[in-house]
Structure 1
Amino acid sequence: MQFQWYPGHMTKAKRQMQEDIKLIDLVIELVDARIPMSSRNPDIDELGKNKARLILLNKSDLADKDASEAWMEFFKEKGYFAVKVDARNKGCMKAISAVIAEACKEKTERDRKRGIKNRPVRAMVVGIPNVGKSTFINTFAGRACAKTGNKPGVTKGKQWIRLNKSVELLDTPGILWPKFEDQQVGLRLALIGAIKDEILNIDELALELIAILTEHYPGVLHARYEVEEDQTPANIIEQIAVKRNCIQKGNALDYTKAANLLLEEFRSGKLGKITLEFPVTVA
């Protein structure tokens, strides 16, 4: 299965971000904690060159805690500031404010020496579709100031949000990149919902997820669906269809309904805290 999704508005958005970066002190990049490397747009590193960088591992409430800690260390060793967050949780935001101040300490000191006082840090919020940028901004600001949705591509244009006297955020649309060199990256993005389900083969996607889960999280599928895991992914999805009564007219098993069920329960955390890639795979 080939994975690709690059609507026309993403090209325009990238050009706009290249223009806006001149105004920016800090790039805040949201990644999905379940796939921290695959959910990073490689264009962002070039875009944010010579800028302070903060990576937020969002949806950390859905990810494997030990894996997230390992990813935090990985990014810090690369010179980034990094924080685990659940963008819906206001309790995470205080820590982020402190890290923003730390990340921009040199900029603030330069301003002070020039006699510039109280100029707010200007931060650009970037990330791929459906990674939680708008939810993060709304929670951080304490009010609904950016559109949110659980479908990729809700934010189409840029918008500035003044949080307080010390921070201004520039929201940007989620952008992917024109071609996935590694189709495993495309697979992981599809699994978390960063590529529209409508253009994917959901049955095949579910089989790929089963293969990953039985290898890295043995017992999860048995605990949730009471299926035996020592069989092929095709047999397992069949057993899930039976256990969850996914039946078409004429009493035939509805494999697509079972596949959708499995993907939804993975994405919502009902299968447990699961990470799909680990730092050793990209070291």
Structure 2
Amino acid sequence: MSIQWFPGHMHLTRQAIRDRMKAGIDVVVELLDARCPGSSGNPLLQQLTQHKPSLKLLNKQDLADPARTAQWLAHFNALPRTRAQALEAKRAPAKALLAACRELAPTRTSALKPLRLLICGIPNVGKSTFINALMGGRRATKTGDEPGVTKVEQKLMLGHDCLIFDTPGMLWPKIAAPQAGWNLAASGAVGRNALDEELVALELIERLQAGYPQALQARYGLSADTGANAEELLALLARKRGAVLGGGQLNMQKAAEILIHEFRQGLLGRITLETPEQFGAWSAAALAAVQEAAEQTIEKE
């Protein structure tokens, strides 16, 4: 699924990050969705943040597969100048997070030289909830369950020696790896006008069949051992949940909405849609496809 969803405020965010980096940032704190840590990482940030030290926060860990979360933490912590932690945004452990940031920027230790953090991430990853928790429960930013709630950069003081810059959620202009696009759509990072929910649901069923067949069985009584394909399973879900139109026609759109909503709410269990190895393979394939297309264009010219 090649998604292109880059509203106007995201262009402004990109420029704001560029400007902020010029003014000086010590650590880039990037919130990721623990259900798809690779897909929810913004490759554009590496260009914009000039390879500054990075703290990767895998939010919504309570919805993610603990074993796969451990794999992702090990993956990120093995990267240079990078630390990673898993958390739930509402319970953000401020002391532990600040300690990790100070380890990455050890010279920023006083009010005269405050630690300067850039908080960033994709839409609907939980940044606003996270920042409100950091500020001790004080409602510092607006929150919501739709992508794109925060529209402008905010500057906040945490204590007397830490300055936080909060940026609106930002995707990148084109998500090349189809699997990453599906995962972002399923997780809620992409606006509804940029996706076909029935197609997203079918792809989600295939992911569940491969990695978490027990989730379909436990929640909907759908067995992955029947040999049914994703479309047939979605039709069975529609019947079981009464998603039926006049004349007995199945409402596949409604069934898709039910599945996606219940996945996002964690009602199917703790699920992570990708491993580091899988995401690496998807990214490599996408890069190869781009290079092949470029070579074909050159040959035609």
State if a TM-score over 0.5 links the two structures.
yes
Counterpart in the other structure of 1:17: 17
Counting only pairs closer than 5 Å after superposition, residues 49-68 of structure 1 correspond to structure 2 as: 49-68=50-69
Counterpart in the other structure of 2:151: 156
Counting only pairs closer than 5 Å after superposition, residues 103-182 of structure 1 correspond to structure 2 as: 103-105=104-106, 107-108=107-108, 118-142=112-136, 143-182=138-177
Q: 2:91 aligns with which of 76, 81, 89?
A: 89
Higher mean displacement: 45-54 or 11-20: 45-54
Counting only pairs closer than 5 Å after superposition, residues 193-212 of structure 1 correspond to structure 2 as: 193-212=188-207
Cα distance, 1:96 vs structure 2 = 1.2
- Are the counterparts in 2 of residues 27 and 126 from structure 1 also a CA contact under 8 Å? yes
1:224 aligns with 2:224: no
- Are the counterparts in 2 of residues 118 and 165 from structure 1 also a CA contact under 8 Å? no
- Are the counterparts in 2 of residues 129 and 194 from structure 1 also a CA contact under 8 Å? yes
Counterpart in the other structure of 2:296: none
- Contiguous gaps of at least 5 residues in structure 2: 282-301
| Structure 1 residues 141 and 117: CA distance shift in structure 2, 3 A | closer
Q: Deviations over 1:221-249 (max 9, x none)?
A: 01101122231111111111111111223
Counterpart in the other structure of 1:4: 4
Percent identity of the aligned residues? 41
What is the distance in 1 between the residues matched to 2:215 and 2:141? 36
- Are the counterparts in 1 of residues 14 and 48 from structure 2 also a CA contact under 8 Å? no
Cα distance, 1:50 vs structure 2 = 4.5
Q: 2:243 aligns with which of 241, 246, 249?
A: 246
Cα distance, 1:99 vs structure 2 = 1.3
Amino acid at match of 1:17: I
| Structure 1 residues 165 and 249: CA distance shift in structure 2, 3 A | same
Cα distance, 1:219 vs structure 2 = 1.6
SS in 1 for 2:90: coil
Q: 2:273 aligns with which of 265, 272, 276?
A: 276
SS in 2 for 1:27: strand
TM-score, scaled to structure 2: 0.87
What is the distance in 1 between the residues matched to 2:173 and 2:194? 16
Cα distance, 1:175 vs structure 2 = 1.0
SS in 1 for 2:108: helix
Count of residues in Structure 1 that have an aligned counterpart in Structure 2:
275
